[in-house]
């Protein structure tokens, strides 16, 4: 297990830094001892829900909102640097910010390519509901994760945000 002295910020993938954070002030949000390697948790500041994740690439801070339909990633699963959403099985790569597995509902990926609905192994194929619901699924774009700058000061995890 990593000690707090090993804590370090992970690199933010190119072009995926949250808007307005380049010159935002850093806020101490969590003592590093509360986020052992291989864990993640939600930290709320005002109306902003953040996901803090400690991986072997370092500490990431993203929105605690799935890039698909905004479910809280903090109650999903973490495997290495892949975070899995609890709602539609979407998986997201924290290192690249890309979708590692499209949600079961399908839809458009970040580049606009369409992906059909799918079912997990062992489950019956899902039938698309008729009408607007199917259209909404088809047109929902799964975006990329957005990142907030992180720094570690005296063992505390600090994140650049605007309140």
Number of helices (H), then strands (E), belonging to the chain: the values are 1, 12
73 closest CA partner among 60, 82, 61, 86: 86
| Residue 100 near residue 82, CB atoms below 8 Å | yes
Distance CA 78, CA 19 (A): 25
Query: For residues 8 and 114, which CB has a smaller minimum distance to ligand FES in the complex?
Result: 114
Q: Under the rule (CB under 6 A), what is the footprint of ligand FES?
A: 66, 68-69, 71, 85, 87-88, 90, 103
> Which uninterrupted H or E stretch holds 79?
strand 77-79
Query: For residues 41 and 143, which CB has a smaller minimum distance to ligand FES in the complex?
Result: 143
Query: For residues 32 and 67, which CB has a smaller minimum distance to ligand FES in the complex?
Result: 67
Task: Provide, rounded to whole angstroms, the least separation between the CB of residue 49 and ligand FES.
Answer: 14
Task: Provide, rounded to whole angstroms, the least separation between the CB of residue 62 and ligand FES.
Answer: 13
Query: For residues 90 and 97, which CB has a smaller minimum distance to ligand FES in the complex?
Result: 90
């Amino acid at each position: 297990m990593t000690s707090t002295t090993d804590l370090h910020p992970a690199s933010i993938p190119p072009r995926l830094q949250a808007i307005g954070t380049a010159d935002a002030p850093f806020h101490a949000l969590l003592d590093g001892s509360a986020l052992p390697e291989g864990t993640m948790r939600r930290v709320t500041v005002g109306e902003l829900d953040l996901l803090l994740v400690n991986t072997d690439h370092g500490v990431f801070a993203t929105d605690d909102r799935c890039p698909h339909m905004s479910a809280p990633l903090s109650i999903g699963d973490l495997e290495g640097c892949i975070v899995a959403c609890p709602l539609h099985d979407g998986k997201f790569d924290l290192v690249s910010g890309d979708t590692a597995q499209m949600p079961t509902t399908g839809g458009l990926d970040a580049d606009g390519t369409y992906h059909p609905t799918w079912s997990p192994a062992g489950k019956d194929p899902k039938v698309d509901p008729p009408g607007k619901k199917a259209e909404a699924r088809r047109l929902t774009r799964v975006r990329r994760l957005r990142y907030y700058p992180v720094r570690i000061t005296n063992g505390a995890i600090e994140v650049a945000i605007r309140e």
